Amino acid sequence: MVVGLTACAHRQAASPPAVPATGGSIYHADILKAARSNTAYRRVVLTGATMQIVLMSIPPGGDIGEEEHRRVEQILFCAEGSGRAVIRGVGTPFRQGDVVFLAPGVRHNFVNDGSTPLKIYTIYSPPNHLHGRVQQTKADAEADIENQEFNRRVDEPGRRQAR
Protein backbone atom coordinates (compact mmCIF):
# COMPACT_ATOMS: atom_id res chain seq x y z
CA MET A 1 0.00 0.00 0.00
CA VAL A 2 1.32 3.45 -0.92
CA VAL A 3 -0.18 6.61 0.51
CA GLY A 4 0.88 10.11 -0.52
CA LEU A 5 -0.07 13.10 1.62
CA THR A 6 0.87 16.73 1.85
CA ALA A 7 2.06 17.90 5.26
CA CYS A 8 2.52 21.35 6.72
CA ALA A 9 4.21 22.35 9.93
CA HIS A 10 3.25 25.11 12.36
CA ARG A 11 6.41 26.94 13.42
CA GLN A 12 6.91 28.28 16.90
CA ALA A 13 9.15 31.22 17.76
CA ALA A 14 12.22 29.30 18.89
CA SER A 15 13.68 26.12 17.44
CA PRO A 16 14.84 23.46 19.88
CA PRO A 17 18.52 22.56 19.76
CA ALA A 18 19.25 19.11 18.39
CA VAL A 19 19.66 16.60 21.18
CA PRO A 20 21.65 13.59 19.95
CA ALA A 21 20.15 10.17 20.57
CA THR A 22 21.09 6.56 20.68
CA GLY A 23 18.71 3.65 21.17
CA GLY A 24 16.20 4.43 23.90
CA SER A 25 17.12 8.13 24.27
CA ILE A 26 15.32 11.31 23.29
CA TYR A 27 15.86 13.23 20.07
CA HIS A 28 14.37 16.72 20.00
CA ALA A 29 15.24 18.96 17.07
CA ASP A 30 13.82 21.21 14.39
CA ILE A 31 13.74 18.39 11.84
CA LEU A 32 13.07 20.71 8.89
CA LYS A 33 16.11 22.83 9.79
CA ALA A 34 18.21 19.69 10.29
CA ALA A 35 17.12 18.23 6.95
CA ARG A 36 17.63 21.49 5.08
CA SER A 37 21.13 22.03 6.50
CA ASN A 38 22.25 18.43 5.93
CA THR A 39 24.71 18.11 3.04
CA ALA A 40 25.43 14.38 3.34
CA TYR A 41 23.77 11.89 1.01
CA ARG A 42 22.69 9.91 4.09
CA ARG A 43 22.97 10.83 7.79
CA VAL A 44 21.46 8.59 10.47
CA VAL A 45 20.43 10.93 13.30
CA LEU A 46 18.37 8.62 15.52
CA THR A 47 18.15 4.88 16.00
CA GLY A 48 15.61 3.55 18.46
CA ALA A 49 14.60 -0.01 19.22
CA THR A 50 11.98 -0.11 16.46
CA MET A 51 12.48 2.97 14.29
CA GLN A 52 15.07 5.28 12.82
CA ILE A 53 15.30 8.86 11.49
CA VAL A 54 17.61 9.51 8.55
CA LEU A 55 18.40 12.75 6.68
CA MET A 56 19.21 12.67 2.96
CA SER A 57 20.49 15.22 0.47
CA ILE A 58 20.13 14.17 -3.17
CA PRO A 59 22.04 16.34 -5.66
CA PRO A 60 20.40 17.66 -8.85
CA GLY A 61 20.14 14.80 -11.35
CA GLY A 62 20.71 12.22 -8.58
CA ASP A 63 18.46 9.61 -7.03
CA ILE A 64 18.37 7.20 -4.11
CA GLY A 65 18.40 4.23 -6.47
CA GLU A 66 15.53 1.85 -7.07
CA GLU A 67 15.00 -0.36 -4.03
CA GLU A 68 12.49 -2.50 -2.18
CA HIS A 69 12.44 -3.27 1.54
CA ARG A 70 10.90 -6.66 2.26
CA ARG A 71 10.30 -6.03 5.98
CA VAL A 72 10.75 -2.29 6.46
CA GLU A 73 8.08 0.42 6.45
CA GLN A 74 9.32 3.82 5.34
CA ILE A 75 7.94 7.35 5.47
CA LEU A 76 9.71 10.01 3.38
CA PHE A 77 9.15 13.75 3.86
CA CYS A 78 10.32 16.40 1.38
CA ALA A 79 11.86 19.24 3.40
CA GLU A 80 13.22 21.23 0.45
CA GLY A 81 13.63 20.98 -3.30
CA SER A 82 11.62 19.03 -5.83
CA GLY A 83 11.78 15.72 -7.58
CA ARG A 84 9.81 12.61 -8.40
CA ALA A 85 8.66 9.70 -6.31
CA VAL A 86 8.77 6.66 -8.59
CA ILE A 87 6.52 4.04 -7.02
CA ARG A 88 6.23 0.67 -8.79
CA GLY A 89 7.56 2.34 -11.94
CA VAL A 90 5.11 5.27 -11.92
CA GLY A 91 6.50 8.76 -11.29
CA THR A 92 4.65 11.48 -9.40
CA PRO A 93 5.87 14.90 -8.22
CA PHE A 94 7.59 15.00 -4.82
CA ARG A 95 7.80 18.57 -3.56
CA GLN A 96 8.48 20.48 -0.37
CA GLY A 97 5.82 19.53 2.19
CA ASP A 98 4.97 16.17 0.61
CA VAL A 99 5.10 12.89 2.49
CA VAL A 100 5.05 9.34 1.08
CA PHE A 101 4.43 6.15 3.07
CA LEU A 102 5.85 2.90 1.68
CA ALA A 103 4.71 -0.47 2.98
CA PRO A 104 7.15 -3.42 2.87
CA GLY A 105 7.57 -4.84 -0.62
CA VAL A 106 6.92 -1.62 -2.55
CA ARG A 107 9.58 -0.95 -5.20
CA HIS A 108 10.53 2.74 -5.20
CA ASN A 109 13.01 5.43 -6.13
CA PHE A 110 13.21 9.15 -5.41
CA VAL A 111 14.76 11.27 -8.15
CA ASN A 112 15.93 14.88 -7.95
CA ASP A 113 14.85 16.49 -11.20
CA GLY A 114 15.23 20.00 -9.76
CA SER A 115 18.15 22.45 -9.85
CA THR A 116 18.92 22.38 -6.10
CA PRO A 117 19.54 19.50 -3.68
CA LEU A 118 16.47 17.47 -2.71
CA LYS A 119 16.35 17.44 1.10
CA ILE A 120 14.51 14.50 2.64
CA TYR A 121 14.00 13.17 6.12
CA THR A 122 12.82 9.61 6.37
CA ILE A 123 11.61 7.29 9.09
CA TYR A 124 12.30 3.55 8.89
CA SER A 125 10.68 0.86 11.00
CA PRO A 126 12.55 -1.25 11.91
CA PRO A 127 15.90 0.60 11.61
CA ASN A 128 17.45 0.06 8.18
CA HIS A 129 20.93 1.58 8.59
CA LEU A 130 23.73 1.42 11.14
CA HIS A 131 23.32 4.00 13.90
CA GLY A 132 25.32 7.19 13.41
CA ARG A 133 26.28 6.33 9.84
CA VAL A 134 27.14 9.31 7.62
CA GLN A 135 27.74 8.74 3.92
CA GLN A 136 28.71 11.91 2.08
CA THR A 137 27.79 10.61 -1.39
CA LYS A 138 25.71 7.88 -2.98
CA ALA A 139 28.99 6.24 -4.03
CA ASP A 140 30.06 6.19 -0.37
CA ALA A 141 26.76 4.51 0.55
CA GLU A 142 27.13 1.92 -2.21
CA ALA A 143 30.68 1.15 -1.06
CA ASP A 144 29.65 0.76 2.60
CA ILE A 145 29.67 -3.05 2.80
CA GLU A 146 29.06 -3.12 6.57
CA ASN A 147 25.88 -1.03 6.20
CA GLN A 148 24.71 -3.13 3.23
CA GLU A 149 25.14 -6.29 5.32
CA PHE A 150 23.06 -4.67 8.09
CA ASN A 151 20.32 -3.90 5.48
CA ARG A 152 20.38 -7.50 4.29
CA ARG A 153 19.99 -8.89 7.82
CA VAL A 154 17.06 -6.54 8.53
CA ASP A 155 15.22 -7.86 5.47
CA GLU A 156 15.79 -11.56 6.22
CA PRO A 157 12.54 -13.55 6.44
CA GLY A 158 11.52 -14.38 10.00
CA ARG A 159 13.65 -11.64 11.50
CA ARG A 160 11.76 -9.69 14.16
CA GLN A 161 13.94 -6.70 14.88
CA ALA A 162 17.21 -5.16 13.71
CA ARG A 163 19.99 -5.24 16.28
CA distances from 155 to 41, 51, 114, 126 (A): 22, 14, 32, 10
**Angstrom distances, CA of residue 89 to CA of 4, 68, 69, 92, 108:** 15, 12, 15, 10, 7
95 in any annotated domain:
yes
The answer as to whether 14 is a domain residue is: no
**Which three-class secondary structure state does DSSP give residue 148?**
helix
Is 121 domain-assigned?
Answer: yes
Each residue's pLDDT expressed in tens, for the chain with a length of 163 residues: 444 433 444 444 454 445 554 555 678 899 999 999 999 999 999 999 899 999 999 999 999 999 999 999 999 999 999 999 999 999 999 999 999 999 999 999 999 999 999 999 999 999 999 999 999 999 999 999 888 888 778 877 665 544 3
Owning domain of residue 69: 1-6+50-129+141-152
Residue 34 domain-assigned (yes or no): no
Domain contains 78? yes
- Quote the pTM value: 0.81
- 59 within domain boundaries: yes
Asked if residue 100 belongs to a domain, the reply is yes
CATH number of the domain within which 74 lies? 2.60.120.10
Q: Domain count for the chain, please give it.
A: 1
